[in-house]
Structure 1
């Protein structure tokens, strides 16, 4: 497939246009519920895009519109140019074969083997047994389960069950793969293996992947683009790296603060003051990325300005494959020193946020 950065933004795989979804009241006297409220968003072809938000933000409702499991109250949903909202019967079944789906709880049939679970969509479509075998065995090998063809779901781990679900979703040669909280029931190590598999599928098959999740760690690890949902709306979106680097909306900031290494450690929080007393230090969070990621800039800060700099906490990581780091430092809060430090940060390209003062 083409390198994602070379893919034009005007080549959409999935488009939401003014999408609203209202559910009627279930009991007399109650008001209905608006799950989605004017969603406009485009998923470019060939990307792994994340939709993230808290429970109740509207993520799962949004994804159910893509394969026609729900119809929007207003607006359109386009999959590769086809308006899903206008489809029914055979045309809708054809569309669903082009949209693979993997689920949080696997949805495997306990009475069928790994092979038979993966083969089920093709059996339903009436494909001959010999053609099914030729199609399914390479898929099972791709997800690393070629030695489990004849095993039943009860004999598999959670990660292996999810791999079966992924192979089944690929059986109909979809152009779009939907993942609805597919890693939420898995431990961190298994989650990483599943995300690595999805990245391999995206790279080798050129498959567009839409990840629905409430976990920022999943977004950080697997996606190149992200949209943040809150209250049935998309409140922020962009390249994953840009959103992580400079989150604009309060919901995004809160979600990011829950990730290890992004917020202040508790022992520092207890000491932070809003205004300095004589002799206090300024507490500053530095963000390293791009050309600044591997430069000894704190050492330069200490040397050029003659500062005594205390390192309070820090992490080094990557986002969507790009290096990224956070470092919290403390130095004299004297106004002259603060101005010199700000000039240094501006000159070197460091993102610096003054977060308070400490003794």
Structure 2
């Protein structure tokens, strides 16, 4: 389904290359007084590129929600600056903040729809607040409901809609004022996996066809992997790692990132094997190696060639081929005899093929 022209023309943005939409400059946010203060954000630097989908991920209490509330001025920085499209948010008064918020759409975890208003009227609400007349509101809301696939649900109340449909209404409402930036606060956390995928596909399509910048916060690695081109990992108020989603997922450097990725990598070792894993080999042991397949190598028969190279005594213990930010990525955990000759032949094969490897340990 393509986005209707009437909706697209009203919302479309044309991102410039390497042009920042949001910049966090040495941002610190402290709650409470000096004696009993709590630092929610500690010296955060981050750039959200125009037209990109950037994910902020971290566990509960990492500072994600505080970070996103600084963007639309719902919270103010203790020190540093938050700049949105060239405007220092901290320097705005109430009039300036109201103007800025009309250019920033927001979707929420629990939808925040008014139960007494239909889908049409929920989407119309920000337009009513902006002072548009009924004819102008009707001309805009109809295409927005069509955009999110709910043209036939315009007269339905939230109680008559599924969770996914409610979130689609929320997305349409967020787009009503033709924003240049869309904030997503755990927008899929209350949805089942199938519905989550449909909402993420919608957001990805809106980004691609409208050029709309999306900044989303989540604790779900699967969400970031599916939709975000860039990601920042937060832990205890700091950004501990950031970059292209593919790079962070395929070569995480910080322990927090590795722990959060463990459940989504497809190569988690069984507990009995983890228990028996040793870091130094003994006679007769087998070596466990994680192989990483990037790009085109994810689809090449390298495992079969490895068996041919070092012999048939190779066990495959875990593995997966998946897509991260639109790029193929494969991982495989194999075990083979930890003899000097076998290891040397395997290492030659890895060097020749460019496979990335990590020795996980040794087992009897």
**TM-score of the pair, normalised by structure 2:** 0.94
Tell whether the 8 Å contact from 1:288 to 1:350 is kept in structure 2 after alignment: yes
Q: Deviations over 1:264-293 (max 9, x none)?
A: 233432432232222221111111111211
2:28 to 14, 20, 25: 20
In the alignment, which residue of structure 2 is the partner of 1:8?
A: 17
In the alignment, which residue of structure 2 is the partner of 1:77?
A: 82
RMSD: 1.7
In the alignment, which residue of structure 2 is the partner of 1:235?
A: 240
In the alignment, which residue of structure 1 is the partner of 2:356?
A: 351
Tell whether the 8 Å contact from 1:21 to 1:73 is kept in structure 2 after alignment: yes
Tell whether the 8 Å contact from 1:14 to 1:80 is kept in structure 2 after alignment: yes
In the alignment, which residue of structure 1 is the partner of 2:261?
A: 256
Report the 3-state secondary structure (helix = DSSP H, G, I; strand = E; otherwise coil) of the residue aligned with 2:276.
Answer: coil
**Structure 1 stretch displaced more, 253-262 or 159-168:** 253-262
Quick one: distance in 2 between partners of 1:155 and 1:101?
23
Any stretches of 5+ residues in structure 2 without a counterpart?
A: 1-11
In the alignment, which residue of structure 2 is the partner of 1:265?
A: 270
Q: Deviations over 1:208-229 (max 9, x none)?
A: 0011000001000111100001
Structure-to-structure mapping, 1:168-317, within 5 angstroms: 168-259=173-264, 261-317=266-322
Any stretches of 5+ residues in structure 1 without a counterpart?
A: none
Q: Deviations over 1:62-107 (max 9, x none)?
A: 0000000000000111111111111122211110011100000110
Tell me the number of residue pairs that the alignment of Structure 1 and Structure 2 aligns.
353
Report the 3-state secondary structure (helix = DSSP H, G, I; strand = E; otherwise coil) of the residue aligned with 1:345.
Answer: helix
Quick one: distance in 2 between partners of 1:122 and 1:135?
9
Using the TM superposition, give the Cα deviation of residue 305 of structure 1 relative to its aligned residue in structure 2, in angstroms: 3.0
Q: Deviations over 1:311-340 (max 9, x none)?
A: 111111110111111111111101232122
In the alignment, which residue of structure 1 is the partner of 2:154?
A: 149
Tell whether the 8 Å contact from 1:265 to 1:313 is kept in structure 2 after alignment: no
**TM-score of the pair, normalised by structure 1:** 0.95
